Amino acid sequence: MQAIAIVILALLMWAERASAQSPYSLTVGRHSTVNVSDSQVDTIFSEASKILQKDLGHVDTQDDVACNVTFARKGSIKTFALPSTPDIIHNAADRGAVHREDFDIKIVKKIEFCRTPGAGTADGCSWPPRARGGRISTIVIETPLDAHPNIGRLWAHELGHRMGLRHVNDSTALMTACPFDSEARVKMRECSCFLTGRRPSCTKPQASCRP
C-alpha cells in the first residue's frame, strides 16, 4: 500500500512539473537536391509534438507520460551554404561536412554512414550539442519525407538524441534501438530531459536491440 502511495505521489509531482510547456524552435536546412517544403516540415513537427504530448485522456504511468513539449520551425527552410556539402553521407568526412552546415536539422538524400562503418543506411543521425563541438547536429534522411510511415516519430527520436538520450532495448519506447513498434512510450526520465534540456543524468549506457 505504501509503495502504491509513493507511486501516486511521484506521478502527481510529475504532472505539476510537466504542465509547463517546453517549446523548441528549430532551424532546418536542406541540400539543394532535396525537395521539401515549410508546410511538410511543419506537419512533421506537429506529429512529433503529438507523440510526446499524447492523446487527450492519456493516463500517465512511470513508463509512459504525456510530455508537454512542442517542436516548431524557426524561419523558412534554407539550402546548405556550401555547394560542396554532399547530399549522400558515405563516410565520416561527408558527415562532417553536413554537420558544419549551421542548422539544427539537416535534410539529405541518404545516410550510408552515421557512426559505425558497415552498419548500413540510417533514417536519422544525431548528436547532443556538447558532443559535436557545441553545435546541435541532427541529420535526417529524405525518403521522401511524406513517404516515411513513422516520420514524426523518427524526428522525435532524433531530437531525443539531441537531449543526450540514448537507445533503450524496448520496441515500444520512443528511444528504442529496435525497428519502431506501433507505440512510442516516453518514460518520466526521458521527458525530464526534453523539458529541462541536456543534463548528465540524461545520458545512460547505449542499448542494443534484443529480440
* Model confidence pLDDT, tens digit, residues 140-194: 988 888 888 889 999 999 999 888 888 888 888 999 988 887 789 998 888 988 8
Residue 10 above 70 pLDDT?
A: no
pLDDT band (50, 70, 90) for residue 210: confident
Q: In 3-state terms, what secondary structure has residue 93?
A: helix
Share of the chain above pLDDT 90, in %: 46
Domain count, the chain: 1
When mean pLDDT is compared over 80-84, 113-117, 206-210, the highest value belongs to 80-84
Residue 1 above 80 pLDDT?
A: no
Structural domain including 155 reads: 21-202
Helix (H) or strand (E) holding 15: helix 2-18
Residue 55, domain member (yes or no): yes
Residue 123, domain member (yes or no): yes
Compute the average pLDDT of residues 109-131. 82
- From residue 187, alpha-carbon distances to 15, 45, 46, 56 in Å are 13, 20, 20, 18
Residue 130, domain member (yes or no): yes
Could you tell me the three cell numbers for 161? 538524441
pTM: 0.84
Residue 42, domain member (yes or no): yes
Residue 13, domain member (yes or no): no
Residue 195, domain member (yes or no): yes
Residue 5, domain member (yes or no): no
Calpha distance 72→70 (Å, rounded): 7
CATH number at residue 57: 3.40.390.10
Residue 7, domain member (yes or no): no
Q: In 3-state terms, what secondary structure has residue 171?
A: coil
Residue 96 above 70 pLDDT?
A: yes
Residue 101 above 90 pLDDT?
A: yes
Residue 83 above 90 pLDDT?
A: yes
Mean pLDDT for the chain overall: 83
* Model confidence pLDDT, tens digit, residues 31-63: 999 999 999 999 999 999 999 999 888 999 988
Calpha distance 187→189 (Å, rounded): 5
151 vs 198: which has the higher pLDDT: 151
201 vs 106: which has the higher pLDDT: 106
143 vs 134: which has the higher pLDDT: 143
